[in-house]
Structure 1
């Protein structure tokens, strides 16, 4: 077996094509797919191809097969289950097959730890076939959107609250500064005042009285 070099992006592109084909079989082409899975026939498999096409067919006769094979006998369970449950079962096995195939190619083409991690990360960004078929993918998108909106509203609310708090603090500081400034001015004014009797300066802890006739300040007796 000749191991030709292929990149992570090429393997991921192969994965995407096969995945799209299987999703088509289980959704838009579901009536055709259902009719082809006749329980009276032999073991059937659902194949997805890189060109986004699908096919219901017998497994390859080669043992062991060159490539990982999809699950056998999907047609046998068709009439024994609800259609949606049967489609979900096929979807789960198809997810497993695609992952096995992708990492088979990774091993064949010599992917190292970093390459395998990149490949898995790219695959993991996509909803699984099971999530698409069961509607979980749409549900997750809605939940993610709702969480994002709630986070945005919460952030906006927190910012507004912080702004209001900051505004109240600034106003309180401004009022405090104004009071201190007025007090200082008052102290300065009285500090320059001399007693009309003894000629000493005004003291902040002293009691003074003002004469209404001459408008001079004098030390008072408490």
Structure 2
């Protein structure tokens, strides 16, 4: 059920609440998309997609009390499920989810008397993260695909190598091609340049940034990078995967025939 009775009171607490709900929504629309799709049965009553502060999600009926304790998400998302292309339907749910996240955050801000400076700081903190729509549709960083392509070029040189990478390895993928241009750089400058190049790479599941100590894997179809933990792939499993398909690409392939029919 929707988590109630949880009232963050500071800017940092509201932002933490925002991030938790946002992560839950992104999971519903990426790694858990097949389950989410099935739960949005058009034969059921008006349903809403909720993101929870605990980074979980649920599809449920709206609150019965008026006015509700929190702003409500878009009502009846399930009715349009079979009347639109799946990609367009998911994109529409993303847009409404982003609007709901902002509504909840500023509801807390208004309820607990945030002044102009606090509201601005809260918005800037939220605006530093890509939207749910940007993460799910792949529009978060246009240069991300280019980075993945460079990584693919390097990995293709050795058929035995998987497209999985630790973040440290990701930083080294394109170095052989750039070495001639950067022979004058010392080690510190090279490391800083690598961090700049890959620091904006975002996980296609949770939307969080690249980190130097995490294992990543790239989807061979959509070419998005994912934290191994977000898609339940370990380095050991990755060694046996020749062509990795992320949960979203896998579920889209399964669902497409039913949509076309």
Q: Counterpart in 2 of 1:124?
A: 127
Unaligned runs of 5+ in 1: 145-152, 157-222
> What secondary structure is seen at the aligned counterpart in 2 of 1:28?
coil
Q: 1:133 aligns with which of 131, 136, 150?
A: 136
> What secondary structure is seen at the aligned counterpart in 2 of 1:66?
coil
Higher-Rg member (1/2): 1
Q: Deviation per CA, 1:141-181, whole angstroms, max 9, x where unpaired?
A: 5689xxxxxxxx9xx9xxxxxxxxxxxxxxxxxxxxxxxxx
Using the alignment, how far apart are the partners of 1:128 and 1:61 within structure 2?
29
Q: Counterpart in 2 of 1:168?
A: none
Matched, 1:84 2:90: no
Q: What is the TM-score of this pair, normalised by structure 1?
A: 0.62
Q: CA deviation at 1:126?
A: 0.4
Q: 2:14 aligns with which of 11, 14, 19?
A: 11
Using the alignment, how far apart are the partners of 2:72 and 2:8 within structure 1?
22
Q: 1:65 aligns with which of 58, 65, 68?
A: 68
Q: CA deviation at 1:138?
A: 3.7
Q: Counterpart in 2 of 1:40?
A: 43
Using the alignment, how far apart are the partners of 2:9 and 2:67 within structure 1?
23
What pairs with 1:18-57 in structure 2 (closer than 5 Å)?
18-57=21-60
Q: Counterpart in 1 of 2:98?
A: 95
Q: Counterpart in 2 of 1:105?
A: 108
> What secondary structure is seen at the aligned counterpart in 2 of 1:75?
helix
Q: What is the TM-score of this pair, normalised by structure 2?
A: 0.53
Q: CA deviation at 1:7?
A: 1.2
Q: Deviation per CA, 1:51-109, whole angstroms, max 9, x where unpaired?
A: 00000000011112121000000000000001111000000000000000000000111
Does the CA contact (< 8 Å) of 2:8 and 2:17 recur in 1? no
Runs of at least 4 residues off by over 4 Å: 140-144
More helix by share: 1
> What secondary structure is seen at the aligned counterpart in 2 of 1:31?
helix
Name which structure has the greater RCO, CA cutoff 8 Å, separation 6+: 2
> What secondary structure is seen at the aligned counterpart in 1 of 2:77?
coil
Unaligned runs of 5+ in 2: 148-177, 182-261
Using the alignment, how far apart are the partners of 2:64 and 2:80 within structure 1?
22
* Alignment length (residue pairs): 148
Are the structure 2 counterparts of residues 57 and 121 from structure 1 closer, same or farther at C-alpha, using a change threshold of 3 Å?
Answer: same
> What secondary structure is seen at the aligned counterpart in 2 of 1:62?
coil
